[in-house]
Amino acid sequence: MLFLFKKYKYFNNRDNSGFAIPQILIIGIGITIGVSGLIASSILSLTGSKINKQEFLAKSSSYSGITKIKALFNDNNPNRFFNFYWIVDNCSEKSSNCSSTKVPIPANEYWSDSKWCDGEENCRGRQKAPICYAMDQIPWINEQELVQKLFTDSNNIGTNLENSKREFNQAFNLISSRYYGTEESGINSILIEGLSLPTNSSQKSSSNKLRVNIAVASTTNESGFGFISVGENDSDKENSLFLGNLTVKPDDKAKGSIIWRMNLNSNDDCGNLKTLAMGENATIPNNENGGLWIQPLSMPQQPRLKNVEDIGTVICTPERIARNNSNCILNSKNKNEKTYRIYSIFARGLNSKFEISTRDNAKIILEIIGDIDISNGGTFCHRDGLNACGTGKAENLTILFKQKNYPKQNILACNRENKEGGVKIKNNINYIDINYPLNNDLLPGNSFLIDNTGKAISEKFAAFIYGPQLTFISQRPNSNYVQVTNNSRKNDNFGLIVTSRGSYGYIKNTLGTSLEDTFTNLILTPDLKLIPYGNNQDNNLYNYEIIGFGKKISNLPYDSQFSQSVENVFLIFDKSSSTYHLRTFNIKNINRSTTSTLQRSYPRAFAILNPKNSQNDINLGSDLDDDSIAKPWLNSFGIEMQKIDNILERNFEGAVWVKNFCLDNNGTKNWKFSKNFIENLVSWHGSEFNWGRKSYRGKSIILWDTLRKFN
Amino acid sequence: MRKSQIYKYKNGFGLVDSVLSLSLLAGIITYGIYFSSLRLGTIYYSNLIRSINKEIERDIERLKVEFWSLNYDKETKIYNIDNNQCKDFTLEIINLPSWKLDESSEDILVQSWKPGKERSKVFTGEAVEISRILNMSSPINDQNLNLSTATLDYRVKWGENNRHWLSIILAPEAHGWCE
């Protein structure tokens, strides 16, 4: 009360006396509020700076994480396969996008591809990475473990500095990485969390959640370029390759790969790769320079065609070459690029020759619907302009195969049953119950047989062969005799044995102009099966090579039971007894005699060998020059045979991308390719033709998105 | 009369009033000065943190640009790099224009600098020393892999303080183009 009274007095003090305390108090309160405010704001500023620092640390952590994973997956070490992790999905346990923690082995991941699977059960597609690795390479399981650690552990950043106090540790957690795209290119989307962690606490003080999208591209370097590619679809497996004694020049220093398009279940299936490829005697680039790469890579689409001219079936016997405007001699007709559509090319027998002239500014594409047969003395002469045979450059000639049927039953494959090599027919189901016209999908695919690349060692066959369904064969026949076809018109037999669809066939009249004359026909055994060229399979009931076509031109020798009414025969070499035989046959038409059949290069008929008996088969012995037995019979059927020099060296240059690549173990076979060839091929057909084993690399960062949450 | 002069002077403040108010004023001024200096210290520290962060960030950005352009051929617009370089990028990094800051440095892998006031007023007197230490390594602990990642540890010294400020991993873009 007294105080109030005094206060009352003070407030009512109207004289000159004063009291300073209230004023000081008021000033004090003012100063306190002001100073406190300033203090609060500066503390706020300090807290902000500290938080900013922690954010900076967290951002640096996430950036470091991205750098680290990019550097790891981009590592080029030839013994490592980390780059394939760009194209698979990886999940940590923190990821809400994945049902479980998963860091796969890329070789166990597949590209979906119905064309590759071709209706095969349990086919998962094409393997994203090779499962085979060389001796000095790190097994997949190790790589998986290392990548898994990145996704499961918290990854610390930085090294502890001596005498320096560290307030915050830094770390990053990889949440997931997901690939969107194709085998060639795409985007890898990475979720990552950068952390700042106080050294004196287990709690995180700041985190930086990011989604980072990195553009991923595939590249094929010189050593990855596929100068040989084999395998069409999943069912081919190892049957698509027989390397034999192929030598890749210049030996071990060559850079380039043999791409074997095949899925394998485990590394145990790989074994010794050269043995697997039936190439114990082969010399191929070592692993660092390419070598043998087993992975079903997707192939580029066929090259684009310009200035297409249809010239039908090309049969290049000596007489046909001599004709005016023969299609056996081709050039680009003054065009930079010219395409010839050809149903089949046959240059088989002595002095048969198919000739083509190209230049850097006069390139040629041969679009082949059916088969090519360059064998038994026939040659494929590729010139550079007017220069000699064998001077043509591989990069100026592309041979493109466009098979019209889709074999479902009898499939061509390499013969791997023994060291002989060559081809065989998988299944080789007989043609008993067939309709007319034939469902041509019951026939095997087309083939390219070349057993001779020129007499001179300098001569070579040089081209880029693109035939995803084609069987490439280079195999010498067992018989040394070849038929001389209309060389000097000594008789009226103008028939020609050819190799079509990897099997023996014939053309009735090589000089004829009618459809019926120039159709190819296939030869069947008495039990109605096709006879694969060379016929090297073990346990083969009909161990034949068909080497000649005969047409009766005079009476037959009397002292035999051989059917006198027969008009045509085949000359057969029986490999089991090394004897020659004449054998009768019956014709069964299987396709209509129309232009459409010819354009699709379908066979007109089956020639079915009659069973071996005295009416149908004459044994001519082992010497066709024998005047007492062989000669009279051969003369009666207008068959002129000649012994051929065994040309032991075959030289190839360029690239061949086919379904089956079937060589033999005879003679010498050289394959040459160069960086110059690759560059010119790419400049002609496009960058997708720099094709082969791929390595992936993360390139530019195309999205850097800060997230609140990961889901 | 004397009593009234001691306790109350009719035309001014009394003695007690004066003493109390002066004490109070002194207290308030002391408080104000103390807290002002405290505030200045806080602001200085806050500015120091911010400025060091910015200084380090600038340094990192400069290095990032040079890491990106390492082995880049502007004319052909491709990265030209041979396999020996791919195995270890240390030499390339220490030869970057932005790497070498201290000519007198005994260890090329450790570079220190004292930012001046042109960078921030808080650096006036060059009392702050920032060091970056390069540590080349492979992305994971595996001897067979390329030494492609550069871990940069930043250390900051001022007064009695010696702090490990920040660490970051950088990698040359060219590494992605090794064959």
The model's pLDDT over B98-147, given as tens digits with 9 standing for 90+, comes to: 998 888 888 999 999 999 999 898 899 889 999 999 999 999 988 888 89
Per-residue HEC secondary structure of A7-52 comes to HHHHHCCCCCCCCCHHHHHHHHHHHHHHHHHHHHHHHHHHHHHHHH
pLDDT tens digit sequence for A327-358:
999 999 999 999 999 999 999 998 899 999 99
Is a pLDDT exceeding 80 seen at residue A239? yes
Average pLDDT value for residue range B38-47: 89
Share of chain B above pLDDT 90, in %: 53
Bridge partners of A368, per DSSP, are A342, A401
**Cβ contact A138–B27 (<8 Å):** no
Judge whether B7 is closer than 8 Å to chain A, CB to CB.
no
Residue A4 confidence (pLDDT) = 47
Is a pLDDT exceeding 80 seen at residue A560? no
With CA atoms as reference, the chain A residue closest to B132 would be: A161
Residue of A76, A219, A220, A701 best to disrupt the B interface, most CBs of B under 10 A: A76
pLDDT tens digit sequence for A263-280:
998 888 888 889 999 999
Is a pLDDT exceeding 60 seen at residue B3? no
* Contacting B residues, span 110-139, partner chain A, CB-CB under 8 Å: 133, 135, 138-139
Is a pLDDT exceeding 90 seen at residue B66? yes
Measured CA to CA, the distance from residue A709 to residue A52 in angstroms comes to 20
**Cβ contact A158–B167 (<8 Å):** yes
Q: Which residues of A578-612 are buried (b: 16+ CB within 10 A; e: fewer)?
A: eebbbbbbeebebbeeeeebbbbbbbbbbbbbbee
Of how many residues is chain A composed? 711
pLDDT tens digit sequence for B101-115:
888 888 999 999 999
Judge whether B49 is closer than 8 Å to chain A, CB to CB.
yes
**Cβ contact A60–B168 (<8 Å):** yes
Residue A19 confidence (pLDDT) = 66
Angle, to 10 degrees, between the axis of helix A21-73 and the axis of helix A140-152?
170
Question: B70 with B174: CB under 8 angstroms?
Answer: yes
Residue A711 confidence (pLDDT) = 63
Question: Which of A382, A389, A391, A447 has the alpha carbon at shortest distance from A414?
Answer: A447
Residue A299 confidence (pLDDT) = 94
Q: Quickly state the pLDDT bin for B1 (edges 50, 70, 90).
A: very low
Measured CA to CA, the distance from residue A171 to residue B119 in angstroms comes to 30
* Average pLDDT over chain B, rounded to an integer: 87
With CA atoms as reference, the chain B residue closest to A68 would be: B139
Tokens for A108, please give them.
């166990």
With CA atoms as reference, the chain B residue closest to A64 would be: B169
Q: Quickly state the pLDDT bin for B39 (edges 50, 70, 90).
A: confident
Share of chain A above pLDDT 70, in %: 95
Query: Looking at B36-93, which runs of residues are DSSP E strands?
Result: 72-73, 78-79
Tokens for A658, please give them.
């086919």
**Cβ contact A39–B38 (<8 Å):** yes
Identify all chain A residues contacting B57, using CB atoms and an 8 Å cutoff: 56
Residue A11 confidence (pLDDT) = 47
Residue A490 confidence (pLDDT) = 65
Residue A1 confidence (pLDDT) = 44
pLDDT tens digit sequence for A589-619:
999 999 999 999 999 999 999 999 989 999 9
**Cβ contact B149–A165 (<8 Å):** no
Q: Quickly state the pLDDT bin for A221 (edges 50, 70, 90).
A: confident
**Cβ contact A159–B153 (<8 Å):** yes
Judge whether B58 is closer than 8 Å to chain A, CB to CB.
no
Which of B47, B144, B169 is nearest residue A79 as measured by Cβ atoms?
B144
Residue A39 confidence (pLDDT) = 85
CB pairs under 8 A between A and B: 185
User: In sequence order, what are the residues at sequence separation of 6 or more whose Cβ sits closer than 8 angstroms to the Cβ of residue A332?
Assistant: A338, A357, A358, A359, A362, A363, A364
- State the DSSP string of A601-650: T--SEEEEEPPSSTTTEEEEES-TT-TTTHHHHHHHTT--EEE-----EE
Average pLDDT value for residue range A25-32: 84
Judge whether B179 is closer than 8 Å to chain A, CB to CB.
yes
Question: A402 with A369: CB under 8 angstroms?
Answer: yes
Quote the pTM value. 0.88
Q: Which residues of B145-160 are buried (b: 16+ CB within 10 A; e: fewer)?
A: bbbbbbbbbbbbbbee
Measured CA to CA, the distance from residue B94 to residue B92 in angstroms comes to 6
Is a pLDDT exceeding 80 seen at residue A431? yes
Measured CA to CA, the distance from residue B19 to residue A710 in angstroms comes to 66
Question: Which of A240, A284, A221 has the alpha carbon at shortest distance from A116?
Answer: A240
Residue A28 confidence (pLDDT) = 81
* Average pLDDT over chain A, rounded to an integer: 90
Judge whether B60 is closer than 8 Å to chain A, CB to CB.
yes
Residue A403 confidence (pLDDT) = 96
Sequence spans of domains, chain A: 43-157+165-220+700-707, 224-301+669-695, 308-409+428-651
Residue A2 confidence (pLDDT) = 47
Residue B9 confidence (pLDDT) = 47
Is a pLDDT exceeding 90 seen at residue A180? yes
